[in-house]
Chain A
Amino acid sequence: MGIKVDIELCTGCGICIDSCPFGAIKVEDDLASIDERCNLCGACVDACDFEAILISDVKEAVIKSDGYEGVWIFAEQRNSKIASVVLELLGEGRKLADKLGVDLSAVVFGENIESSAKELVRYGADKIYIVDDPVLKDFNDEIYSEILTDLIQEHKPEVVLCGATAIGRSFIPKVSARLKTGLTADCTGLDIDNEKRCLLQTRPAFGGNIMATIICPDERPQMATVRHKVMKKALYDPNRKGEIIKKSFNGLSMDLRSKVIETVEEIGDMVNITEADIIVSGGRGLQEPKNFRLIEELAKTLGGAVGASRASVDAGWIPYAHQVGQTGKTVCPKLYIACGISGAVQHLVGMQSSDVIVAINIDKDAPIFDVATFGIVGDLFKVIPEFVKRFRELKG
């Protein structure tokens, strides 16, 4: 392995133990040792006051573009509607493409999707690759990954981005595995290292408690899925021009082994907490299932979606699709309002990166207040109706 402790220099002070996010270091007989959990992140190297930890043999990042050029984004659609995250990808993709001095292209699969696909030019794409075929109407892992893999092999982009949506996180890992290249999941920050011409991909790990910056030095394309609501949306320019490239679907190289029989949309926008700008969440403090009505009313008043803690999901008050947290969904809205939620760490990891957090809790010591931008210590049964009433009065 590429990490070593210098026996001469190590004093066994143990500072490195705490610096290690993976718990890979222990000190015995005044000497630190590092086990297999090490990810070579280098945190201990920086922490060590004695320069006793050395990382060697790490692959030097070299330019290996090998004719790979351009930034691609995958523009997913569901029910023939382009997903909102696509505009965020175009906004971010444009910046990256400009830094690299290359084109930005969008790839669209679907049925009768051409007119909405063309719109993407006005959001900053230079080229649109469209594959329009009835087979592509519904998302299918096997078909989508085969076509995208083929397109990438043919056109060789250096960067491929996709939303960290259910669709993206389902099939993009198959594409990267097939291409034997790297894929960084659920990125919240992207940048270009111009000198090495490589993509710097920053993402949360350990439920957002630490951030890691990851590169893919030797393989192309460099691939990443990008979290919703983090990147700025592309601006619309009605006069922008671009090139439309139609690709036909010529069948698959093998028999299809999985098929979608049915696509069911549930309660519309109320469920889709991953795309919502505002989320109002309810916890055990609601006491009874019928009280979720309060949460729904506030959400409706503010134009937001309904979230929930695991406690209220486990109690059967609301379906699992609404659960926020470690074993539910990770969300990042502009505004997150937690009502009657204590703020257990497993809940916090799913919402703590929201822009503004409001907590309403009767217990002033509830840990949710540690992450809340604004806290109201009070009874939700009084606070929420007042909130709804005042908001309606003020906003008409």
Chain B
Amino acid sequence: MNIVVCIKQVPETTSVKINKDTNTLVREGTKSIINPFDMYALEEGLRIREKSGGRVVVISMGPPQAEEALREAVSYGVDDVFLLSDRAFAGSDTLATSRTLACGIEKTGDFDLILCGKQAIDGDTAQVGPGIAENLDIPFVAFVRKIRELDNHTLKVERMMDDGYDVLEVSLPGLITVVKEINEPRMPSLKGKMRAKSINIPIWGVADLDMSDSETGLKGSATQVIKIFTPIRDGKREILEGSIEEQIDLLINKLNDLKVV
């Protein structure tokens, strides 16, 4: 079974917040992590390999620094890692990103199953996984919380829905995005850490992927960010006082006035 896992390097949320006095963005350093949902995708890939054999390939698209995320992936025991990085990729929206990743995945060789996280915590779009599937013309299941069965041709999974779950059967090759419930990621191994230090990571650009400049990056994107601003939250915060009974009565009155209960 050849498995491809897509991981994205994202800023740790805590490093992006708002200075309450000046209402501006503060970044305490720029600590980057592997997108948390992608850790579950990575773990699931490793578990499938342990059961069914094959290889786990990890791919990421991003600036040269994203190499760190791929090294971390190596420390968990994946077989190969590839970085898609090129100035021409900059400014890609989800349409261009999924197109580019699809080209990159095809270049890594044959695949049976592609695993992505449910969504990236910086953009929160959950659009790249289905976008890749569409570009590669393979079936897709979102929000997988459990793989029930897997053989060389089919996959049976549980998809988390808002009101419960669906059980689906999908033919391979296919792509799934996973949620946290699916597993508990492992710790890196010592051997993996050693290999992570020395591994040579191939970096592919537009030319390597046989893409034209107009298919990726800003030119290949349909959407454009025209404004970024901080959300306005009304500052009214109130700590209630008095005995518990008094506080509760006060609270119920206030909630009543606001018509929320």
Q: Which residues on A are within 8 Å of B, measured CB to CB?
A: 1-2, 17-23, 35-43, 57-59, 61, 78, 138-139, 141-142, 165-167, 169-171, 173-174, 176-178, 180-186, 200, 204-219, 257-266, 268, 271-272, 274-275, 277-278, 302, 320-321, 323, 326-328, 330, 334-335, 345-346, 349, 352-353, 355-356, 358, 364, 369-378, 382-383, 386-387, 390-391, 394-395
Establish whether residues A266 and B140, one from each chain, have CB atoms under 8 Å apart when the complex forms.
no
Establish whether residues A266 and B163, one from each chain, have CB atoms under 8 Å apart when the complex forms.
yes
Establish whether residues B226 and A214, one from each chain, have CB atoms under 8 Å apart when the complex forms.
yes
Chain B residue contacts of A178, Cβ below 8 A: 134
Alpha-carbon gap, A278 to B228, bound state (A): 30
What are 25 A-B contacts defined by CB distance under 8 Å? A21-B16, A21-B228, A23-B15, A39-B225, A42-B226, A42-B227, A173-B131, A200-B226, A204-B124, A210-B229, A214-B223, A216-B224, A257-B138, A258-B169, A258-B171, A260-B167, A261-B156, A263-B167, A320-B181, A326-B36, A364-B239, A373-B237, A374-B254, A383-B247, A391-B261
Q: Interface residue tally of chain B, by bracket?
A: 35 or more
Establish whether residues B252 and A326, one from each chain, have CB atoms under 8 Å apart when the complex forms.
no
Establish whether residues A40 and B227, one from each chain, have CB atoms under 8 Å apart when the complex forms.
no
Q: Which residues on B are within 8 Å of A, measured CB to CB?
A: 11, 13-18, 24-27, 30, 36-37, 62-64, 85, 87, 89-91, 93-95, 98, 121-127, 129-131, 133-135, 138-143, 145, 156, 159-171, 174, 179-181, 217-218, 221-231, 233, 236-240, 244-245, 247-249, 251-252, 254-255, 258, 260-261
**Min CB gap B67→A, angstroms:** 13
Chain B residue contacts of A394, Cβ below 8 A: 252
Chain A residue contacts of B89, Cβ below 8 A: 36
Establish whether residues B224 and A386, one from each chain, have CB atoms under 8 Å apart when the complex forms.
no
**Min CB gap A216→B, angstroms:** 5
Establish whether residues A345 and B17, one from each chain, have CB atoms under 8 Å apart when the complex forms.
yes
**When A and B form their complex, which 6 residue pairs have the shortest distance between CB atoms, in order from nearest?**
A182-B222, A182-B223, A177-B134, A173-B130, A257-B139, A36-B63
**Min CB gap A146→B, angstroms:** 11
Tell me the nearest residue of chain A to B182, going by C-beta: A320
Q: Which label, helix, strand, loop or mixed, suits the secondary structure of the B interface? A: mixed
Establish whether residues A271 and B258, one from each chain, have CB atoms under 8 Å apart when the complex forms.
no
Given contacts A166-B160, A346-B13, A394-B252, 7 further A-B contacts (CB under 8 A): A1-B87, A42-B225, A167-B161, A212-B225, A216-B223, A264-B167, A373-B237
Residue picked from B90, B142, B228, B231, most chain A C-beta under 10 Å: B228
